[in-house]
Structure 1
Amino acid sequence: MNNNVLNQVLMLFLMLLVGIYASKMKYIDKKMNAGLSNLLLKITLPLLIINSFITMKFSKSVLNVGEDILLYTLIIHIVLVLFSKFAYMKVNDAQKGISKFVTVFSNSGFMGYPVLRSIYGENGVFYCAIFGIILNLFMFSYGIMALKNTKGNSLKELKRAAVNPSIIATVIGFFIFILKIKLPHLIALSINSVGSMTSPLSMIIVGIMLADINLSDLFKDKLVYILTIVKLLIVPAITFVVLKLLNANQTVIGVIVVLEAMPAASNAAVMSLQYGSDENVALKHIFITTVLSIIIIPLVIKLVV
């Protein structure tokens, strides 16, 4: 296994501990953390995405892989939505929505970029951005409906997903890439510098969220154990089998399986609170899957990359 990948995962975990420490010491409160989350989602992450297009050399093969990732990510999310629909039929209504949400959506936005970057270089950031297009479209449409435990279409949420800053950044970066636009050196350097804040900032934010977890209650929730097994083991396995059956190439399999093996999406707790689902289950699940990802992610990388 590539030691750089293992070091990257361990470094992310140490950054997470910094967030927990900052919260415990009252350096950052929930209001400040909400501001940091907005800073990341609306500024640093979009700039990281744009920077990946700026620094990437034009290659038809990279574009072809990107197209495949877009298509296969769409298929995988449809499969996972159907799987979650039947897997949690007996879960009570208050917890059914968050169970579906954390099964379908991974923390690819926060943890995916630095991990794929360590494996595939700047191409990895590009691949993660393509994956994020589908993830965001599903998260802000199906994800919201699941948390609300409602049926029917959600065109309003789908439109909201389409104007997500990360998707806009992907479109901008794509045009820069295709048209071979050369940005002034100072602007490109600034984009790179601010974008590089994404990884440490994202893990510190997650750490701050996890600092409120009551460890004594953490190991009493049977549902959290089930969700953790599903998220870290069953979902990557389903993804791998489906992609193999579809004859996806090795790079596509590696990218998508690794991203699906990421911990639960870190905004699951915030969105579950906002839309009336069980945020306590979300926080516990985020904590356990994030800790266990130190073992799971390097193992998955060794098996599929």
Structure 2
Amino acid sequence: LSLVLCVFILSRIYGYSKEMYCAMILSSAFMNNGNYGTPVVLLVFGAAGLDIAIVLMVLQQLVMSTIGMYYAAKGGEDAGDGKVVLKKVLRMPVAYGALLGLLFQLMDFSLPKEVMTGVQLVGDAAIPTIMLILGMQLAVISFKQVDYRNISYAVLLKLFISPLIAFGFTLILPVDDLVKQIMILVAAMPTAANTTLMAVQFRTKPEFVSSTTFLSTVLSIVTLPVLLWILSMHPLG
């Protein structure tokens, strides 16, 4: 929400259209803490850190599948009014699946093995499908027409401002040092690849969102080791 506020301020300064405003939110407010963030946390902090990272990942996915989906639908080419946007969001199944899974967990209810096999197959295909769609988007981008200024702002928000905001929250939240470090590290992850799927689905400037996802991921190869070095040299507490 802090990053959404930052994008709102930028939109007031530069007069973004509704489409650009929503595309900027998709590009800068949601981090890849699933197939990217959790392995990094496991590598650095071990199994104890992974448990925390998974909790943060689940919460992030719920936010992305609701608030993120809302902005993706709102910025689409045929978005319509507020009621139409809300109906589009309510038709998306991700949040319902998460709530159903939580309900099954609380009830200690197990699905039949045959059903779980199908669910596992679909789940295993999710990341390759996302990467395929991201690659397809990047393949058709004309780099002469890329909006480098706004992409730079989105990458700056995602890789630099986001961990600073997380650091600010660690100063006031009553959590231990391990959680604080993981919060900052996860916040510094590049743009979530899922946002490209949303942008393609609702036609919310998919070229812009996929370009930011790609660029932030490439740059994170440099920014994440630097952040880890800073955390090791200046432990929180």
Q: TM-score, normalized by length of structure 2?
A: 0.69
- Once the 2 structures are TM-superposed, how far is the Cα of residue 212 of structure 1 from its aligned partner? 2.2
Any conservation in 2 of the 1:269–1:283 contact (CA below 8 Å)? yes
1:200 corresponds, among 95, 109, 128, to 128
Provide the residue aligned with 2:59 in structure 1.
130
- 2:69 is the counterpart of 1:140: yes
2:160 to 216, 230, 233: 233
1:181 to 109, 126, 129: 109
Identity of aligned residues (%): 22
Which residue identity does 2:95 align to in structure 1? I
**Closer/same/farther in 2, CA of residues 169 and 124 from structure 1, 3 Å limit:** farther
Compute the displacement of 1:274 (Å). Answer: 7.2
1:102 to 9, 27, 33: 27
| Structure 2 match to 1:32 | none
For the residue of structure 2 that corresponds to 1:170, the secondary structure is helix
Return the letter of the residue paired with 1:232.
L
Within a 5 Å distance, the mapping from 1:74-89 to structure 2 comes to 77=1, 79-89=2-12
Q: Compared with structure 1, are the counterparts of its residues 296 and 82 closer, same or farther at alpha carbon in structure 2 (3 Å cutoff)?
A: same
SS in 2 for 1:213: coil
Name the counterpart of 1:14.
none
Tell me by how many angstroms 1:236 deviates: 2.0
Bigger mean CA deviation after superposition, 181-190 or 109-118: 109-118
What is the count of residue pairs matched by the alignment?
A: 223
Q: Matched residues in 2 for 1:290 and 1:223: separation? A: 16
Cα distance in 2 for residues equivalent to 1:181 and 1:276: 38
Uncovered stretches (5+) of structure 2, i.e. residues with no partner: none
Equivalent of 2:99 in 171, 178, 190: 171
Residue 209 (structure 1) aligned with residue 137 (structure 2): yes
Task: Measure how far apart 1:242 and its partner are.
Answer: 2.1
CA RMSD of aligned residues (A): 3.9
Separation in 2 of the partners of 1:178 and 1:301? 36
**Alpha-carbon offset, residue 234 of structure 1:** 0.9
Q: Are the structure 2 counterparts of residues 112 and 160 from structure 1 closer, same or farther at C-alpha, using a change threshold of 3 Å?
A: farther
Secondary structure of 2:13's counterpart equals: coil
Which amino acid in the other structure matches residue 126 of structure 2? T
- TM-score, normalization: structure 1? 0.56
User: Which 10-residue stretch deviates more, 258-267 or 221-230?
Assistant: 258-267
State the alpha-carbon separation in 1 of the partners of residues 92 and 170 from structure 2.
27
Which residue of the partner structure matches residue 45 of structure 1?
A: none
Tell me: CA distance 1:103–1:204, structure 2 relative to 1, closer, same or farther (3 Å). Answer: same
Deviates more, 1:188-197 or 1:283-292: 188-197
